[in-house]
Structure formats: structure tokens, C-alpha cells
């Protein structure tokens, strides 16, 4: 069993405001007995005309060190998005902060949002994973970021490597039928991999909100509307085992026939 808290928040314009908000919600989630609290993509800071290179830090820099202190103080694990500087590159990165050991995993956005007139690759370098899986209680967890949801291969990779829950941090841009697309994609990624999928989304201005949890059969079991919020979900590993026992799609694959390039 794991209790997750998903935040849905407006973008903070400064790192200081980001950390203030993260501490407030970490405190609240801890009081509500959550094991993990999740914050959206870009939550380090985001504003019109942002150049992530101007705000980016090393993954072990001051911002992440502050996250580690918050996690330790409130005895709650944290996932959130940062602008990461590594050598001469900037990455859109999700970090996992363990309440005991600090930063324990990270994921660099694999698929950048070069679509609908936006070119995220002007701001960030493409990540190449790592596709780490970490454990909280009895749950094995992987992370992806926003536009990655349109690429089923990354979710299948996690599920074949024993993930039970895939966490998405997102700044899903608003637009025609974008809300419906989001709900459909979250549901389908959960269903086709018989895993839980949980998303924390930015809301307001350019962003849709609609933070969502889907169970291993693709049923939406919790979601936010289109306003700032925090929602809690209790996830049971036995639900995955039950679904996979009745619908063993991962075992029934025939990869020797597939030619994916």
C-alpha cells in the first residue's frame, strides 16, 4: 500500500516561492499521512519568456539541497521538476527525494515538446533516461515528464522492468480537446501496461490542470478539476496482482514478431 499526494498548482515565478509552496504542501501531505507528494513539471520556477539556462542548477545544487531538508523535516518523499544544468547542457528533469537518503533518482525528459508551434528543444537538451525504478513501501516506481505520455514505448519499458506505478510530472499546455487527450492518455497507458499511472500538472494560464490517477485497468479513480488543489490516493499492490491475474497482457506479448524501429 502507498498513499500518494498529487499537487496541482500555478507556476511559481521564483525558486524562493517554489520552495515555500513545496514546504507548505509537504507539511500538509505529511499531516494527511502521505508517503509521497508530487509536484508538477517546471516547478523550480516558470514565467513568460523563461530561459531555463538562466535558472538551472546542478542536480546536487542549492535548490535540491533545500528539497532534501524539506523531505527530511516532514518525513515525506518528494518528486518534482527542476531545470538541471549538467556540463554544458540543460535538461528538463524530474527528481525523487527520499526522506532518509536525499536525492535517490532522477529522470531527464526524453521526448521534448516540438509540436503545435512550440519548440522545447530550443530550451533543453534531449534526455536519455535514466529509466531508474525506485521503491516506496511495496511499490516499484518510474518517472516520466509530460509529452513523454504520447510515446507508449517508455511506459512499456517501465512495466517490463516491474514498475507498479508510473508518475508523470507535467505542464500540459491547454488547447482544443487537450483535456480529453490527457485523460485518455493517462487511462490507456495504465490499461495497456496494467500499472497505476498518476500525474501532477500545472494549472492556470497556459496549463490545463486535470491531475489524474488511473488504476491498472485504466479506470480514473481520482482527479483534480481546473483549479489549484491537492488530492490523495491510496494505491494497493494487490489490485495490480488481481488485474494481471485476470488479464495477463504482458505475458501474452509476442515480441519475436515485432519490428519496432
Q: Does residue 76 fall inside a structural domain?
A: yes
pLDDT-derived band at 178, boundaries 50, 70, 90? very high
Position 49 scores a pLDDT of 87
Q: Does residue 205 fall inside a structural domain?
A: yes
Provide the domain count of the chain. Answer: 1
Position 232 scores a pLDDT of 99
pLDDT-derived band at 140, boundaries 50, 70, 90? very high
The percentage of residues in the chain with a pLDDT greater than 90, rounded to a whole number, is 94
Residue 76 has pLDDT above 90, yes or no: yes
Distances in whole angstroms, Cα of residue 97 to Cα of each of 70, 72, 75, 105, 252:
10, 9, 11, 7, 35
For residues 206 and 11, what is the distance between their CA atoms, to the nearest angstrom? 10
Q: Does residue 255 fall inside a structural domain?
A: no
Position 131 scores a pLDDT of 96
Residue 122 has pLDDT above 80, yes or no: yes
Q: Does residue 174 fall inside a structural domain?
A: yes
Cell of 51: 530561459
Position 228 scores a pLDDT of 97
Position 223 scores a pLDDT of 98
Position 259 scores a pLDDT of 82
The string of pLDDT tens digits covering residues 144-167 is 999 999 999 999 999 999 999 999
Q: Does residue 191 fall inside a structural domain?
A: yes
Cell of 191: 490499461
For residues 41 and 27, what is the distance between their CA atoms, to the nearest angstrom? 20
Look-up of cell digits 517508455: 154
Answer yes or no: are the C-beta atoms of 203 and 224 closer than 8 Å: yes
Most confidently modeled of 46-50, 128-132, 173-177, 182-186? 182-186
Sign of CA dihedral 112, 126, 23, 33: positive
Residue 71 maps to which CATH number?
A: 3.60.110.10
Residue 121 has pLDDT above 80, yes or no: yes
Q: Does residue 261 fall inside a structural domain?
A: no
For residues 75 and 30, what is the distance between their CA atoms, to the nearest angstrom? 7
pLDDT-derived band at 95, boundaries 50, 70, 90? very high
Q: Domain containing 99: what range?
A: 2-250
Residue 260 has pLDDT above 80, yes or no: no
Mean pLDDT for the stretch of residues 185-197: 99
Mean pLDDT rounded to a whole number for the chain? 97
Q: Does residue 172 fall inside a structural domain?
A: yes
- Residue 129's beta-bridge partner residues? 108
Task: Report the predicted TM-score, pTM, of the whole model to 2 decimal places.
Answer: 0.97
Running DSSP on this structure, what letter comes out for residue 202? B
81 CB-side CA count, 13 A:
29
Look-up of cell digits 489549484: 228
Q: Does residue 259 fall inside a structural domain?
A: no
Amino acid at each position: 500500500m502507498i498513499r500518494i499526494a498529487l499537487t496541482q498548482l500555478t507556476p511559481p515565478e521564483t525558486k524562493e516561492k517554489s520552495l515555500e509552496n513545496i514546504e507548505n504542501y509537504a507539511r500538509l501531505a505529511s499531516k494527511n499521512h502521505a508517503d509521497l507528494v508530487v509536484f508538477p513539471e517546471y516547478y523550480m520556477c516558470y514565467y513568460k519568456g523563461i530561459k531555463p539556462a538562466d535558472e538551472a542548477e546542478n542536480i546536487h545544487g542549492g535548490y535540491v539541497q533545500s528539497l532534501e531538508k524539506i523531505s527530511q523535516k516532514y518525513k515525506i518523499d518528494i518528486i518534482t521538476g527542476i531545470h538541471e544544468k549538467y556540463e554544458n547542457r540543460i535538461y528538463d528533469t524530474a527528481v525523487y527525494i527520499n526522506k532518509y537518503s536525499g536525492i535517490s533518482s532522477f529522470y531527464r525528459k526524453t521526448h521534448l515538446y516540438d509540436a503545435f508551434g512550440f519548440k522545447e528543444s530550443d530550451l533543453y537538451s534531449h534526455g536519455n533516461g535514466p529509466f531508474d525504478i525506485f521503491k516506496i513501501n511495496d511499490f516499484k516506481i518510474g518517472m516520466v515528464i509530460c509529452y513523454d505520455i504520447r510515446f507508449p514505448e517508455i511506459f512499456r519499458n517501465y512495466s517490463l522492468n516491474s514498475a507498479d506505478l508510473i508518475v508523470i510530472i507535467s505542464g500540459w499546455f491547454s488547447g482544443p480537446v487537450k483535456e480529453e487527450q490527457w485523460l485518455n492518455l493517462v487511462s490507456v497507458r495504465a490499461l495497456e501496461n496494467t500499472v497505476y499511472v498518476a500525474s501532477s500538472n500545472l494549472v492556470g494560464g497556459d496549463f490545463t490542470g486535470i491531475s489524474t490517477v488511473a488504476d491498472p485497468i485504466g479506470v480514473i479513480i481520482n482527479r483534480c478539476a481546473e483549479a489549484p488543489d491537492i488530492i490523495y490516493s491510496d494505491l494497493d499492490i494487490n489490485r495490480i496482482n488481481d488485474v494481471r491475474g485476470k488479464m495477463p497482457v504482458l505475458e501474452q506479448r509476442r515480441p519475436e514478431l515485432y519490428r519496432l524501429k
